[in-house]
Amino acid sequence: MDDKNMGNDLVDIGEVDTKAVLAQFDRDSSVRQFTGKRKLILRFMLIGYSLYALWTNVVVTLPEQIKRASFIGIAIFIAFILFPARKKYTQKIDHIHWYDLLLGGVGAASFFYYVVNFHEIAARAGMYTPFEIAVGIVGILILLEICRRAVGLPIVIVVLAFVAYTFYSGFSYRRIVVHLFYTMEGVIGIPLGVCSTFIVLFILFGAFLEKTGVGQFFIDVANAIAGFATGGPAKVAVISSAFEGMVSGSSVSNTVGSGSFTIPMMKKIGYRPEFAAAVEATASTGGQIMPPIMGAAAFLMAEITGIPYSNIVIAAFLPAGLYFTGIFLMIHFEAKKLGLKGLDRKDIPNFARLMLTKGFLLIPLFVIIYLMMTGFTPAMAAFYSIVSAIIVSMFRKDTRISFKSAGDALENGARNTIGVAIACSVAGIIIGTVTLTGIGLELATGLLNLSGGVPLIALFLTMIACIILGMGVPTTANYVIMATITAPIVVKLGVPLLAAHMFVFYFGIVADITPPVALAAYAGAAIAKSNPLRTAITATRLAITAFIIPYIFALSPNLLLTPAALSNPSLLMETLFIVITSLVGMFGIAAGMEGFMFRTMVFWQRLATITGGLLLIYPGWATDLMGFCLVGSIAAYQYIANRPSQSGVAPSI
């Protein structure tokens, strides 16, 4: 089979308007359309923004205040050109309202006033003129408006609630504006600093990697590994989307990008449209928790917690493995229940040949991992990885990055950065209000009081808060919000720092597939032409392990393979036992949820296996023993009942 057509020969994906789907569910793609000179001008602006980010991170060293303020100032101006006040305006070609240019210009000017006058303002040591207070107010208000357009209303509502609390706490508007606009604990705080330093470079790395054709390579590899298996196309979707989602950092865009191929393929062999869309959405969302990159959240977590990047990658390994194992089991049981087969082996790429011809596309991923592990800063690791992506692309003509495609990568990288930069800057307002008022401690105390001091109830309430706060928010900004508001609550329960941050990150991410704002599931439903709500419910069911695993490592932090666990043989054996019991538990839960193990299960069997699975997942010898007995007895009963009798007919249950 010709390498170039490996993936395309597997299935006819039909006509899928991915741009329309992205515009509907992904705000980064819901932008104005330009042609001619306007399109060219915008392209140069976006390329210039990417080059500016590279210049400030690789070539020169600027004061952080100047670097961050200029970074968000440029982003605001471009964002007002890209994002209209209402979605209906996106279809107006070459049309931009005068007030958008005015708002963009004034918003950018507010931040560049700080850039130009930074040294003078710093020399005055906290003495701000009435004009500077007005500049701060205008800058914050315009930032919130463009956040509404580019990111969504939910995060704006949360921010306004926090700001309202600062007024309620008795702080003057002058103190609030100074703290949020002119200090490094507000809009130009840690989230924006991380975004302007290495998230932007990582996004650029992903954009260059995409131009090498690594996305199709992931799909081909997944087909070679699992295409022939029972229900193969669904398993292909899980593998390919896990890798792509890890790099893309967006559940929605990855659902649409890889889903335009995998969802029709799943439907073709017999999966229901809702199930096919849910599989893709669940896998793409899981890509955000997939080490070693985790949609760039791994780098951000290292910066916020102070925990080495290598420890975070190791910690994320087992939970991610359990998450995808759970999805695989659900898919497998569904395929067995429906009697679905895999793809014909003649239509599946040869794994060895694929790795020999295009395996070099993985080199940039190994480069970034190696550099991060050996002590390079995230920014420099991302930069050298971009260079490596360009170099390895030259190995084959069909993967080569030309001058034009390099420009496309710079343009796309800037487009993808705009929304993240704005979200991170707005998230800085939340952090600013927390540091100013101490509301984080009050929230933690209030939630603990509400839970009655019962850890599981407190964790459950924190989970609900994370899902609500994470609705429609990009991965990186999502984690910043969780780390600021909800992680301290979990830490106060006695959960170690890393486990607490992983706990809130997981539940912030699953908001993309949890009703009512399940954007990834709705995007998948648009491609599958399925019912959106049913798709979201199915996705939530498929991702049931994502709602369980965080409780496991919150109660048993050794699952995160901490340095203490790795260096202590007894703790390592304990961790191994937790993994085994969790796998058996997920087997029981998956079978019970799907209603099929070796044959169709009746209600009492489903109830018993789900109960046994939950008992196995909860740490403790007594619960593990009861869980093993329940799951094991039902498995044995199913297996024996499914064996053909001497007459050749399996007995009924």
pLDDT band at 653 (very low <50, low <70, confident <90, very high): very low
Residues in the chain, total:
653
C-beta neighbour count of 14 within 10 angstroms:
11
Residue 327 has pLDDT above 50, yes or no: yes
How does DSSP assign 600-624, residue by residue?
BPPHHHHHHHHHHHHHHHS-SHHHH
Peptide bond into 516 cis (omega under 30): yes
Residue, of 216 and 112, whose pLDDT is higher: 112
Question: Exposure of 381 by Cβ count < 10 A (0-12 exposed, 13-18 middle, 19+ buried)?
Answer: buried
Q: Phi and psi of 600, rounded to 5°?
A: -60, 135
How far does Cα 558 stand from its chain's mean position?
24
C-beta neighbour count of 12 within 10 angstroms:
10
448-457: per-residue pLDDT in tens?
A: 788 877 888 8
Q: Are 592 and 576 in contact (CB under 8 A)?
A: no
Spell out the alpha helix ranges (H) of 173-213: 173-177, 190-194, 200-211
Residues 595, 600, 606, 612: is their CA dihedral positive or negative? negative
* Residue 600 bridge partners (DSSP): 596
Query: What is d(CA 103, CA 543) in angstroms, rounded to the nearest whole number?
Result: 42
Nearest CA to 214 out of 243, 234, 242 is that of 243
C-beta neighbour count of 213 within 10 angstroms:
19
Query: What is d(CA 434, CA 185) in angstroms, rounded to the nearest whole number?
Result: 9
Q: Domain residue spans in the chain?
A: 1-554, 568-653
Residue 347 has pLDDT above 80, yes or no: no
Mean of the pLDDT values across residues 551-564? 86
Q: Are 76 and 111 in contact (CB under 8 A)?
A: yes
Question: Exposure of 320 by Cβ count < 10 A (0-12 exposed, 13-18 middle, 19+ buried)?
Answer: buried
Mean of the pLDDT values across residues 405-430? 91
Instruction: Assign 256 to helix, strand or coil.
Output: helix
DSSP 598: S
Cβ within 8 Å of residue 166, ≥6 positions away: 176, 433, 436, 437
Query: What is d(CA 70, CA 68) in angstroms, rounded to the nearest whole number?
Result: 6
Per-residue tokens: 405: 């495609």
Residue 343 has pLDDT above 80, yes or no: no
DSSP 92: S
Q: Where are the beta strands (DSSP E) in 51-185?
A: none
Residue 29 has pLDDT above 50, yes or no: yes
pLDDT band at 172 (very low <50, low <70, confident <90, very high): very high
119-154: per-residue pLDDT in tens?
A: 998 888 778 999 999 999 999 999 999 999 888 887
pLDDT band at 17 (very low <50, low <70, confident <90, very high): low
Residue, of 225 and 184, whose pLDDT is higher: 184
Residue 25: what pLDDT? 60
Query: What is d(CA 365, CA 367) in angstroms, rounded to the nearest whole number?
Result: 5
Share of the chain above pLDDT 90, in %: 32
* Residue 596 bridge partners (DSSP): 600
496-547: per-residue pLDDT in tens?
A: 999 999 999 999 888 888 887 788 888 888 888 898 889 999 999 888 888 8
pLDDT band at 606 (very low <50, low <70, confident <90, very high): very high
Per-residue tokens: 176: 């609030």
Q: Chain-wide mean pLDDT for the chain?
A: 85
pLDDT band at 297 (very low <50, low <70, confident <90, very high): confident
Residue 100: what pLDDT? 93
Q: Phi and psi of 459, rounded to 5°?
A: -65, -40
pLDDT band at 5 (very low <50, low <70, confident <90, very high): very low
Query: What is d(CA 162, CA 439) in angstroms, rounded to the nearest whole number?
Result: 9
Angle between helices 200-211 and 36-54 (to 10 degrees): 120
